[in-house]
Amino acid sequence: MKEKGVRELPKVELHLHLEGAAPPAFIRGLAAEKKEDISGIFDEQGGYAWRDFWHFLKVYEAATSVLRSPEDYHRLTLAVLEESAASGVVYGETFLSPDFCGGRDPGAWREYLHAIREAADQAERQMGITLRGIVTCIRHFGPEKARETAICAAETAGDWLVGFGIAGDETVGAPKDFAWSFDCAREAGLRLTAHAGEWGGPESVRAALTDLNPERIGHGVRAIEDLALVDELAERGTVLEVCPGSNVSLGLYRDFRAHPIAELDRRGVKVTISTDDPPFFHTTMAREYQELHRAFDWDEGQFGRIARQSLDAAFCDADTKARIA
């Protein structure tokens, strides 16, 4: 498959952190406008510089520190969607955190959400890409902040804000600490996803399933270390938001050929393909497809099947899906 052909395949991306998708030049520009020196987070080529996952989280938060107003998020959303559309993404869902958008103040959060949604509507008109939002709490910020986050999410749940999830450092705390937040979001009609099985093993995926009962798992790839769990995921129809380039870049797997996505797919698990934090991991949706084609010889038929599986697993309503399909 040619690079150009890959770019043109219609793609559905379910796992993308909005701040994590910020082009480094965009963040540098904002820092200059605000006279903030965050030059330490960039490498000599102007990309983001990080050493490991935990340092990545710090660099992510430093980059996010220059996003300070709804207007900044409006500009960010447009910049991110331009990149996604250029990769052939037709539908995407993005993680949004009230922690970064107004410090979990419900009034401020509404203003940020409004600005992001306006930018998404503009991108839909101009570029034909559809976006929906998933509020995410951050595990290493603790359960109390997660509760405030869930309340922000519940108050703004609707046709655009469609989901609730948890991201951050999976090695801190336990899923059960966040059960109240997930129940609150579920009662508000939000669909649920949880990061697990990235820095934690199969037991971490099991705990997320038992204590939070999400429909989708962010990453989940380390389930492959326990084949009984893989069978259970397949039987339950749990969808994995797999981000192969992120996992390879962060050192979880040596390269794409060593990544378990193809094995999980063969064993009947519903896998989907996403980028996570594309500029941090030097990836795009087009590059993910290209690398998967190289590693596993996946072709248009396979990518088409996974795109349909992804749209099925999307949290938007049926009318929106019908318009995109």
Q: Is 144 a catalytic residue?
A: no
The residues, any chain, with a CB within 8 Å of residue 287's CB and separated by 6 or more, are 87, 245
Separation of alpha carbons 190 and 217, rounded Å: 15
Q: Which of 11, 13, 16, 17 lies at the binding interface for ligand ADE (CB under 6 A)?
A: 17
> How many chain residues bind ligand ADE (CB under 6 A)?
10
Beta-carbon count within 10 A of 133 CB: 23
* Residue 102 binding result from Zn ion, ligand ADE, none, given CB thresholds of 5 to 8 Å by partner type: none
Which of 276, 288 has the CB closer to Zn ion?
Answer: 276
Listed residue (178, 230, 171, 239) closest to 202, CA to CA: 230
Provide the β-strand partners of residue 17: 95
CA-to-CA separations, 239 to 96, 268, 309, 312, in angstroms, rounded: 20, 11, 9, 10
Listed residue (257, 308, 278, 286) closest to 15, CA to CA: 278
72 touches ligand ADE (CB under 6 A)? no
Could you say which residues in the range 27-66 bind ligand ADE, by CB under 6 A?
60
**In the complex, what is the shortest distance from the CB of residue 225 to ligand ADE, in angstroms, rounded to a whole number?**
18
93 touches ligand ADE (CB under 6 A)? no
Residue nearest to Zn ion (CB): 276
246 touches ligand ADE (CB under 6 A)? yes
**In the complex, what is the shortest distance from the CB of residue 95 to Zn ion, in angstroms, rounded to a whole number?**
7
Which of 171, 210 has the CB closer to ligand ADE?
Answer: 171
Which of 60, 289 has the CB closer to Zn ion?
Answer: 60
* Residue 168 binding result from ligand ADE, Zn ion, none, given CB thresholds of 5 to 8 Å by partner type: ligand ADE
From the number of C-beta atoms within 10 Å of its C-beta (0-12, 13-18, 19+), residue 322 rates as exposed
From the number of C-beta atoms within 10 Å of its C-beta (0-12, 13-18, 19+), residue 51 rates as exposed
Separation of alpha carbons 233 and 268, rounded Å: 8
117 touches ligand ADE (CB under 6 A)? no
276 touches ligand ADE (CB under 6 A)? yes
Unique residue bearing structure tokens 């997320």: 208
Query: Looking at 83, 198, 288, 291, which residue is catalytic?
Result: 198
Separation of alpha carbons 275 and 283, rounded Å: 7
Beta-sheet strands, E only, within the chain: 11-17, 89-96, 130-138, 161-167, 191-196, 216-219, 239-242, 270-273
* Residue 241 binding result from ligand ADE, Zn ion, none, given CB thresholds of 5 to 8 Å by partner type: none
AA letter at 251: G
Structure tokens at 199: 């820095």
Separation of alpha carbons 22 and 44, rounded Å: 18
x/- contact string, 193-222, with ligand ADE (CB under 6 A)? --x--x------------------------
Listed residue (243, 280, 18) closest to 136, CA to CA: 18
Q: Which of 13, 93, 276, 291 lies at the binding interface for Zn ion (CB under 5 A)?
A: 276
13 touches Zn ion (CB under 5 A)? no
From the list 98-106, 173-181, 221-229, 270-278, the region that binds Zn ion by CB under 5 A is: 270-278
**In the complex, what is the shortest distance from the CB of residue 246 to ligand ADE, in angstroms, rounded to a whole number?**
5
83 touches ligand ADE (CB under 6 A)? no
**In the complex, what is the shortest distance from the CB of residue 144 to Zn ion, in angstroms, rounded to a whole number?**
22
- Residue 261 main-chain phi, psi, to 5 deg: -55, -40
Q: Which residues are catalytic?
A: 198
**Which residues contact Zn ion (rule: CB under 5 A)?**
276
**Which residues contact ligand ADE (rule: CB under 6 A)?**
17, 20, 60, 167-168, 195, 198, 246, 276-277
